Every structure is written in structure tokens, then in C-alpha cells.
Structure 1
Amino acid sequence: MAGTFELYNADESSFAFRLRNSDGTLIAESAKYPDKESAVRAIRTARECAATGHVTDRCTPDT
């Protein structure tokens, strides 16, 4: 099922977004962006990277 990106006002002068899975659990939260357009561009980038990203396992061998 698809997740949802939530764009919001991080404070009086910046924007940010959250990624939630289909049951509403928070998966990720972004840094702050100076304007809404920058935050939207970051969402587009995150969507592209998530679809093509590789997984790097950095766990210790016995976990």
C-alpha cells in the first residue's frame, strides 16, 4: 500500500514533510526548507530515490 507525504509549516518561516505508511505510522521526517517549492522538490526527489534506492546492510554480522 502507498504511503503519504504530508507537507506542513515547520515553523513561521520554513516548511517540511513527513512520510507515513498506510496505517499512519511515521516512517520519515524531513529537514526544514526555506520555502514550499523547495519542500515539494524534496518530496519529488524522495519519491524517486525510494523507488530506485539500494539497501545497504550495516548491521553487525551476528544480528
Structure 2
Amino acid sequence: MQSQTIDNIISQRFVHCVVQVHLIRKFWFDVFWLQRHAKSAKSGLYDCLKQFLNGKYRIIGLKK
């Protein structure tokens, strides 16, 4: 019973990690396509990164 609980916790953490990585990659892909058509790509990307680190990252960050 004890080992089954540990397995569940590990698998949940793993799934959460995979989801987190997927969301980050999707975010970067979206930003890339947006900035590709923008005039100031560098500053725009920097602003997006700041917003991402300030807001979104906390939401999808690993919860203990």
C-alpha cells in the first residue's frame, strides 16, 4: 500500500513536469510567431519574457 502511494505521487509529479515543459515550449513558440511579424522583435520578446516570468510561471510552477 505504501509503495503504491509513492508511485502515484512520483507519476503525478512527472506528469506535472511534462505539462509544465509543454506549456513553456508552447508559450515560446507563440511568442516566436508573434515577434516574427513585429517591428521591435527584441524588445517585444524581452517584455513577453518579463510578463511570463512575473505571471504565468508562478501559475504553472511545480506545487509541492
Q: TM-score normalised to the size of structure 1?
A: 0.31
Greater relative contact order: 1 or 2 (C-alpha under 8 angstroms, separation 6 or more)? 2
Larger Rg: 2
Higher helix share: 2
- Greater share of strand: 1
Q: Normalization by structure 2: what TM-score?
A: 0.31
